[in-house]
A and B are shown apart, each in its own frame.
Chain A
């Protein structure tokens, strides 16, 4: 790994020696059940994000005004995000060095940041004009772009997350 990664590597190494990190790592059932909980919370989060992105693309959930969808689904999406973050962070905490050397882990982290930027950009740019297209049969270009980017980026997050155990490119 490159030199600039060294401080990060040291943090991961340091965490991996915490007694609780070791305890989860060495427990037979804790990690499997964490991954189960991670997948369930992913369903809540990604499932409702997809429903919103389909609406942004103008191809799904068109009976509902976008602002309504946004307002009513947001708390559930946040619940899904909170649960998947807690379970995901605990998994990373339990075996930091396994993830540190994993290309799919870092791909997932990077693409999650991009997906977050997409969501924030949508909120501060396209969402400002929501009243002009809220109930229309078509959505503006900005909404379609955010919807398409959201779907593609979250799909990459899911795929790279699932590929973490394979780690074909280690060393």
Chain B
């Protein structure tokens, strides 16, 4: 269903230009990883706190509030450096199972983030429920990263 859209993205002049340059694509991939570190830091510091580890002298809400702008910056950076990678390779990535696993997991991760995890990160203490949410959140974003790496290796 989405194949025409992916083919259209792939055919855009800007996608072609990225594909034609030997250094733009690798550099974008590399900067994607730098934003990954920022995003992961903002996620892990909060998920560890939800699990009852890390910055335990501060409330869950304080840790989450401090981390949020960096997590958001990291995510926006990941999108900004992820899109060009997809665009120049869209027609092939459409057929990559890992690409779609990654997209589904990102969707799950974001839904969790703005619903249950958001509620948990307004709390003070780590609770059995917050531990589950922290663990699920970490598992989902780890899954995103695993599938992301596999796109590059097996597409």
Contacts and interface: CB of A to CB of B under 8 A. Distances in A.
A14 B65 CA distance: 52
A69 B38 contact: no
Interface residues of B, number: 40
Nearest to B22: A168
Interface string B15-37: 00000001100110111011011
Interface residues of A, number: 35
A32 B155 CA distance: 13
Contact of B63 (A43, A63, A158): A63
Nearest to A45: B37
B57 to A, nearest CB: 5
Interface stretch (B42-50, B86-94, B102-110, B120-128): B42-50
A44 interface: yes
Interface of A: 32, 35-36, 39-40, 42-44, 46-51, 54, 60-64, 68-69, 72-73, 76, 154-155, 158-163, 166, 168
19 contacts: A32-B153, A40-B145, A42-B37, A43-B145, A44-B40, A46-B40, A47-B37, A47-B40, A47-B41, A50-B37, A50-B38, A51-B42, A61-B66, A73-B54, A76-B54, A158-B30, A159-B31, A162-B29, A162-B33
Interface of B: 22-23, 26-27, 29-31, 33-34, 36-45, 48, 53-58, 62-63, 65-67, 69-70, 142, 145-146, 149-150, 153-154
Given A36-B150, A72-B54, 13 more contacts: A39-B36, A40-B145, A43-B40, A46-B40, A46-B41, A47-B40, A51-B67, A60-B70, A64-B58, A64-B66, A68-B58, A163-B26, A168-B23
